[in-house]
Amino acid sequence: MKIRDSGMPDEVTWEHFFDSRQILARLAFTDPDCHVVEFGCGYGTFTVTAATLTKGTIYALDIEPAMLESTAAKAASLGLSNIRTAQRDFVQDGTGLPDGFVGYAMLFNILHAEEPLHLLREAHRVLRPGGRVGIIHWNYDAGTPRGPDLGIRPRPEDCQAWAQEAGFDLLIPFVSLPPYHYGIVGRRPA
């Protein structure tokens, strides 16, 4: 099931919105050995950067074959061998990963889904105790150049409440990620 209002711009435009290395640092992506799951890898903007920061495997999931092809091509061009792409409807079928398997989960620009709590609960399930979930979303501001309609765009307090309801402690309750995003980091209790 494709997430509502989730169309992607062209890759050059998309890449312009993010400094992926800086964002991952600000979202406490600090374990050099952990496995990672990305819910909706898109063009691989964060997937590829994460793969350069850990020896663990990055499980890049997306429902769109073109996004997976883009991510795999980037990984290959950089000689990265720790990325596994998989076409998967994680909204309907989950990630397919075992319980407590990964150290970091990336839910970036995706919690405008119909059931955001469902995605966060799946992230909680696959994270090991002490594992972290990084959340990014578009600022709740009509002036952003993209992002879902404000009627479904979550505010930071929505994401915080959902993360806590899914069982996460808020490690970083809010961080501004200029120019257009904010971030939150949750931790699965040990």
The model's pLDDT over 31-65, given as tens digits with 9 standing for 90+, comes to: 999 999 999 999 999 999 999 999 999 999 999 99
Q: Per the domain annotation, does 6 fall within a domain?
A: no
Pure H helices in the chain: 11-16, 20-26, 45-53, 65-77, 90-93, 116-126, 156-165
Q: Per the domain annotation, does 17 fall within a domain?
A: yes
Sign of CA dihedral 108, 137, 127, 122: negative
Could you tell me the CATH number of the domain that includes residue 55?
Answer: 3.40.50.150
Q: Per the domain annotation, does 81 fall within a domain?
A: yes
The model's pLDDT over 69-114, given as tens digits with 9 standing for 90+, comes to: 999 999 999 999 999 999 999 999 999 999 999 999 999 999 999 9
Q: Per the domain annotation, does 2 fall within a domain?
A: no
Determine if the pTM surpasses 0.75.
Answer: yes
Q: Per the domain annotation, does 162 fall within a domain?
A: yes
CB 181 within 8 A of CB 16: no
- What pLDDT, on the 0 to 100 scale, is given for residue 17? 83
Q: Per the domain annotation, does 3 fall within a domain?
A: no
- What pLDDT, on the 0 to 100 scale, is given for residue 1? 59
Share of the chain above pLDDT 90, in %: 87
DSSP bridge partners of 61:
39, 86
Task: Report how many domains make up the chain.
Answer: 1
C-alpha–C-alpha distance, residues 8 and 106, integer Å: 17
pLDDT at 16 over 90: no
pLDDT at 4 over 60: no
Task: Go through 115-150 and write b for each residue having 16 or more CB atoms within 10 A of its CB, e for each that does not.
Answer: ebebbbbbbbbbbbeebbbbbbbbbeeeebeebbee
CB 108 within 8 A of CB 46: yes
- What pLDDT, on the 0 to 100 scale, is given for residue 70? 95
Instruction: Give residue 39's domain range.
Output: 11-187
Q: Per the domain annotation, does 52 fall within a domain?
A: yes
